[in-house]
Structure 1
C-alpha cells in the first residue's frame, strides 16, 4: 500500500468516526447562533475544516474535543458583526394590546426553533435544558465569546484551561468572561425555580392534547383554562408579545385567520426538548391544510406558562408532511 493510499484510508476512517458527533455539534452551533439553518451550515464547515487539517491532528485530545474546538471557532468567526437573534420579548418593549394591529418585522433575524432527534430519545433528554428556548434566547444577550465560554464550561463541563486553549485566550480571561456571562444570564435567563414538565410526561401530554383540541374545534375560550395567570404568548416575525390568558385569547380571536372548526389542524411533536404542535391552516381556495405555525410550549406545574408560535413554511425538519 502506498503512503498516499494509507493516509486516505486513515482519513476516511477518521471522518466516518467523526460523523457520530454531528447531532451534538449541530446543537452546539445552534446554541451559539440561535439558528438551526446557520447551525447546519456551520457543522458542514466544521467537518470541512477538520478534513483539511486532519494531518495536523496529533491525538493530544479526543476527536470529539477537537471537533468542538473547530466548531466553536467556526461559530465565533461567523458571528463577527452579526446581530443577535431575539424573541419579541427580548426587544425590550412592554406587552402589546391584543386588538392593535400586529406588525411583522421581517428584517429582524429571529431566534429559530430546534427540531428534536426523534431517532434518539436519549439525546433529547440529555440536551433538553441546554436547547430549551428560554436558555438559547438568553444566550443571545451575551457576546459571542461569552456564549462560547459559558456553553463550553457550563454545558459541556470543560475545564477553564481547555476553554482557554480552544478560543485562544488566557485562563484568567476565560474566568472573567464566564463571570460576566453568568451575571448577564441571571438577569435575562430562566429562573432556577422555573422547572419545565418533560414533554413525554402525562401532564404535558394532556395539556398539549387539550391545547390542540381547543384550536381544532375553534373553541378558543377553552385556552383560558390551560394558561397560567402570567402566561406569555409571542409569535415572531410579529414583534408584539402578550401576557395573561384573556389577552392571549383576545389576540387569537382578533387576528387568527381561522373562521371555524376544522380550519386548523395540529400534529403533536417536540421542539427544543419541549412539547410542540405543528399547526396547519386550511387554504380557503384549495381546501388543503398548509404549514402555518409551530407552537412551542413551556409547561409548568400549573399549566402552560409560555408559547412561542413560530411562522412556518415547512415542517420538513420535524419529519412532518408539507400539507394535510
Structure 2
C-alpha cells in the first residue's frame, strides 16, 4: 500500500490545522506511521485510501491541538502601534503562525492557503477548523467528514455553519479580494517594491502601498496600519541598516514573497527577513515579515550571500 502520493496534500492539510510547516511535516510522518501499522485493518469497502489517511491525520492533529494555544500573527493580538520607534522586542513565548514554503510540497496551492485565512482559522475550535477544511477546501462530503470525525452529519453541518460565521466576523474575504500572484500586474508591483526596498527608497515603497496597508513582524508583537506609519518604520529600518540590500523572489502560501539580505560590515549580505506580500487592487495591502531562523530553514535560504552575485544565483550554486 503506497501512501507517498498523498504526502503533499496531507502536509498542506496539517499546516492549515496546526499553523506550522515543521509541525505539519512531523504530523504527516506520524500519520504515515499509524497508517502503516494499521494497514491490515484497512477496509477498502468503507473508504478510499485517501479518505482513510485524512481520518488518521485529522485525529492526530486534534490530539496535538488539545490544550494548545493558537498560532497568531501580531495583527490578531491587539491594536496597531502608533510608535514607529517602539522597541523591537521578540515575544518568544508566543507560538507564532509560520508561512508555508510552496516549493517544498508538490501540491496545488490556492488562495485558501493565504496567510490571513490560515491565521483566522487558528481562532476556530480545532474540530470546527477540521470540518471547514475537509468540507470547503478538500470537498469531502458531510457523510465522509462525519465518518472521519466520528460524529453525525447534522453535527458536521452545524460546525461548518459556525466556522463560516466566525470567518465572516473576522472579516476574511474570499479569493476575489486578493490579486493572484501569477498575474503580470502583481509581478510588476512586487518587482517595483523589491527594487525600492533594495535601494532603501522609502517614498518609492509608500507609493506602492494601499492607504491602510499592514506591516507585521513576528516574532516581534508590534504591527502597523497605514502607509504613513509603514513608511516611518521602514525609514527607521534603513537608517539602522543602510542601503545596498538584495532580494530574491519566492512564493509562500500561494502569495508573492521575497527573502531580504541586509548589507554587513565585511561587504557581504546577511539573511535578514522573509517577507510575504498581499497584493490587492494593484498595490501592496499587507507585508508579513518573518525573522525566525526556523522559517528560513523551511525555505532553504542561505544565511549569507556575496554582494557580487544575486541571491538567486547563490541559491542555484548550492
Corresponding position of 1:5: none
Alpha-carbon distance, 1:322 to partner: 3.1
Is contact 1:85–1:137 with CA below 8 Å preserved after alignment?
yes
Q: How big is the shift at 1:92?
A: 2.7
Question: Which residue number corresponds to residue 70 of structure 2?
Answer: 84
Residue in 2 that maps onto 1:299 = 279
TM-score w.r.t. length of structure 2: 0.90
Secondary structure at the aligned position of 1:239 is classed as strand
Residues 210 and 312 (structure 1 numbering): CA distance in 2 closer, same or farther, change over 3 Å? farther
Structure-2 change in CA distance of 1:312 and 1:292 (3 Å): farther
Please tell me whether the aligned partners of residues 292 and 312 of structure 1 are also in contact (alpha carbons under 8 angstroms): no
Superposition deviation, residue 252 in structure 1: 1.4
* DSSP 3-state at the match of 2:221: coil
Matched, 1:97 2:79: no
Q: Is the 8 A contact 2:111 2:175 kept in 1?
A: no
Relative to 1, partners in 2 of residues 1:214 and 1:166: Cα closer, same or farther, differing over 3 Å?
same
1:46 matches 2:27: no
SS at 1:117 equivalent: helix
RMSD: 1.8
Distance in 1 between residues matched to 2:118 and 2:105, nearest whole Å = 23
- Cα deviation, residue 21, structure 1: 1.0
- SS across alignment from 2:260: strand
Which residue, 161, 166, 169 being the options, matches 2:151? 169
Q: Which of 228, 240, 249 is equivalent to 2:222? A: 240
Structure 2 residues without counterparts, runs of 5 or longer: 306-318
Instruction: Give the match's secondary structure for 2:276.
Output: strand
What are the residue-to-residue correspondences of 1:244-323 with 2, within 5 Å?
244-256=226-238, 258-262=240-244, 264-284=245-265, 286-313=266-293, 315-323=296-304
Paired residue secondary structure (2:156)? helix
1:197 has 2:179 as partner = yes
- What CA distance in whole angstroms lies between the structure 1 residues aligned with 2:115 and 2:105? 21
Looking at structure 1, the residues matched to 173 and 112 of structure 2 have their Cα atoms a distance apart, in angstroms, of: 14
Q: Alpha-carbon deviation of 1:316?
A: 4.0
SS at match of 2:102: coil
State the distance in 1 between where 2:278 and 2:164 align. Answer: 23
Residue number in structure 2 paired with 1:181: 163
Q: What residue number does 2:314 align with?
A: none
Indicate how the Cα distance of structure 1 residues 89 and 172 shifts in structure 2: closer, same or farther if over 3 A, else same: same
Residue matched to 1:75: 61
Asked if the contact 1:147/1:181 (under 8 Å) is kept, the reply is yes
Deviations 1:200-250 (A, max 9, x none): 221111111111111111112211111011111111111111111121110
TM-score (norm 1): 0.88
Looking at structure 2, the residues matched to 257 and 221 of structure 1 have their Cα atoms a distance apart, in angstroms, of 14
Return the alpha-carbon distance in structure 1 between the equivalents of residues 297 and 282 of structure 2: 32
SS in 2 for 1:221: helix
Residue equivalent to 1:33: 18
From 136, 141, 150, the equivalent of 1:154 is 136
Aligned twin of 1:66: 52
Between Structure 1 and Structure 2, how many residues are aligned? 303
23-32 or 219-228: bigger deviation = 219-228
CA contact (8 A) 2:112 2:175 kept: no
User: How far off is 1:64 after superposition?
Assistant: 1.2
Structure 1: runs of 5+ lacking an equivalent: 1-13
